């Protein structure tokens, strides 16, 4: 019995020693685990800091690239504007030189164009207006060639298209060839458009020194005002100061 008790005591002592050793190992492992956790947390914090630093570095790099690109674009825009300004100055100087060179011959060229325009009106007279071949046109011996030329164009529209157009003329000034060519060309276009209208119209021409005004007044079959401006909407828009009213200035 005593021997059994001693044996059990020895076993108990051995187990107690092993338990102490095991607790020591567990404590050591717990300490190692805590240190590993701290190291991992430190590593995570360092990684986060590194990621933040990398993100900031990329942002600074992108900002620097954007500033560089913006500077290049600004420089290109400045260079382009300078080139445009230089080209515009060169074109203006060239146009001025051409205008100065043509000024001396401008009156002669205008006279030549006016003579050609009158020749065309004479043919219109012979083909569409003259009661019989060989009769002289109103242009022969005329004291106002522009007035009589437009009058022939109105008569031709009546004869050729049955247009109900009347001409009213105001002013006694004789128009210079350069202005007369423009006024006749505009009147021809206006008359051609009015010839397509079913209502009647009056073409009022006013001559006042260096200005010629053409205005169209429409009337219906009963003589009441009628709209014909839609026929003229796209005619010499830069000279149309009001619907159906045109002004030419020297």
pLDDT in tens, 228-239: 777 787 888 888
So what's the pLDDT on residue 26? 65
CATH class of domain segment(s) 114-249: alpha beta
So what's the pLDDT on residue 117? 94
Annotated domain spans of the chain: 114-249
Q: Is the pLDDT at 205 greater than 90, yes or no?
A: yes
Q: Which run of H or E residues covers position 194?
A: helix 177-194
Instruction: Transcribe 78-107 into DSSP letters.
Output: HHHHHHHHHHHHHHHHHHHHHHHHHHHHHH
CA distance 93 to 103: 15
Q: What is the pLDDT of residues 29-56, one digit of tens each?
A: 677 667 767 767 776 776 777 677 778 8
């Amino acid at each position: 019995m005593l021997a059994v008790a001693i044996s059990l005591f020895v076993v108990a002592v051995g187990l107690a020693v092993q338990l102490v050793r095991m607790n020591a190992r567990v404590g050591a492992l717990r300490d190692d685990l805590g240190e590993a956790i701290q190291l991992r947390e430190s590593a995570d914090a360092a990684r986060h800091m590194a990621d933040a630093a990398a993100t900031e570095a990329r942002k600074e790099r992108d900002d620097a690239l954007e500033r560089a690109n913006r500077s290049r674009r600004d420089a290109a825009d400045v260079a382009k504007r300078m080139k445009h300004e230089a080209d515009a100055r060169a074109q203006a100087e060239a146009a001025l030189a051409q205008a100065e060179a043509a000024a001396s011959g401008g009156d002669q060229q205008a006279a030549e164009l006016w003579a050609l325009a009158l020749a065309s009106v004479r043919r219109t007279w012979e083909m569409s207006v003259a009661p019989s071949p060989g009769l002289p046109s109103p242009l022969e011996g005329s004291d106002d060639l522009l007035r009589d030329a437009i009058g022939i164009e109105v008569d031709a529209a009546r004869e050729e298209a049955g247009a109900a157009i009347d001409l009213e003329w105001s002013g006694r000034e004789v128009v210079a060839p350069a202005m007369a060519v423009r006024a006749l060309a505009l009147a021809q276009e206006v008359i051609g458009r009015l010839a397509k209208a079913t209502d009647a119209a009056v073409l009022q021409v006013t001559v006042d020194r260096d200005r010629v005004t053409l205005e169209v007044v429409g009337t219906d079959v009963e003589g009441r005002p009628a709209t014909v401006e839609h026929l003229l909407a796209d005619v010499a828009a830069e000279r149309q100061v009001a619907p159906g009213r045109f002004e030419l200035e020297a």
